[in-house]
Every structure is written in C-alpha cells, then in structure tokens.
Structure 1
Amino acid sequence: MIIKNPELSGFELMIIWKIAVNEEGTAIPVLDLLPKIPAHNIEHKAAAAAENAPGCFRIMLRLLGIEASIDSVVKSFAMETE
C-alpha cells in the first residue's frame, strides 16, 4: 500500500505487509513502513517526520495493533501542512 499526500509532491509512505509462516504453521504478519523523500525536499519539516516514521510505526504496531496503526499513519500523513 502506498500513501501519498497531493500537497507534498514526491513524498510517499509505503506499507510493506508480509506473512511469515513458521514450522508449526502459525502465520505471523510482518509489517514495515518505508518513507520516500525527494532529495529536493530533504529540508522540509515533513522529511524529518518521515525519517522517524518506520521506528514509530513499529512501536504503534505493538501498542495499537495493525488496523489502528495504519489508520494513524494515514490520518497523520493526510494532515494539512502549515
């Protein structure tokens, strides 16, 4: 899944979702968040937030669960910039 904000040209957050199955047959979801930041916008305040996003996303997954974490990322990335 790729999340884009039309007001932030070139910024993208990609959610990678993999399913790992162990030897006992237990399915374990593995999620990661990958930010894409254009080089010309590296000084933008959203760039700093996007760089910290993967670690924050992993923490949210443990605290909130998958659905709430993805919902939080979508809402925060869709917020208007000032």
Structure 2
Amino acid sequence: MKVNIEIDCTPQEARQFFGLPDVGPMQMAVMDKLQQQMTSNIDKMNPEALLQSWFSFDPKLAERFQDLFVTMTGLGSPRSGDKKSA
C-alpha cells in the first residue's frame, strides 16, 4: 500500500506547525553584520592597497620580485652584486 500526502504551505507555516523557533530575525542580524564586514574590507582589496601591504614588511621584496621576473623570462643578466666569484 502506498500513500502520498501533499501539503501546500510556506516554510514559515511549516516551522510554526512543528513548533520550531522563528530564526528570521537572527538570520537578518547575521546577514547585516556580514554585509558591514564585507563593505569595510572592500577598501583593503584594491590592487594598490594589496601591493602596499605586500611590500611594506620587506623593503627589498620589490627587488627580489624584479630579479625573479628577470630570471624567469631570461631577459638581462643578474645583478652584479649577486654574481658569485669562482
């Protein structure tokens, strides 16, 4: 024997019927907080700010990146101070 029961109700009505709590206000509060955090962090994600934060901790990092790209592309020669004498 097979019995199918189809109930037409909204999720809110189903939660009320089963006695579950209304989590709508909590979800709205969490989403508002998340939106505020994302909005405040947008300024940190622009390319200029990212490069500034990357290069701020090591002053020679820019030179190292330049050397890396020169070495990877095969353009130019290494810096004279980096040559090892045999």
TM-score with structure 2 length normalisation? 0.24
> More relative contact order in 1 or in 2 (CA 8 Å, sep 6+)?
1
Give the structure with the higher percent helix. Answer: 2
Give the structure with the higher percent strand. Answer: 1
TM-score with structure 1 length normalisation? 0.25
Larger Rg over CA atoms: 2
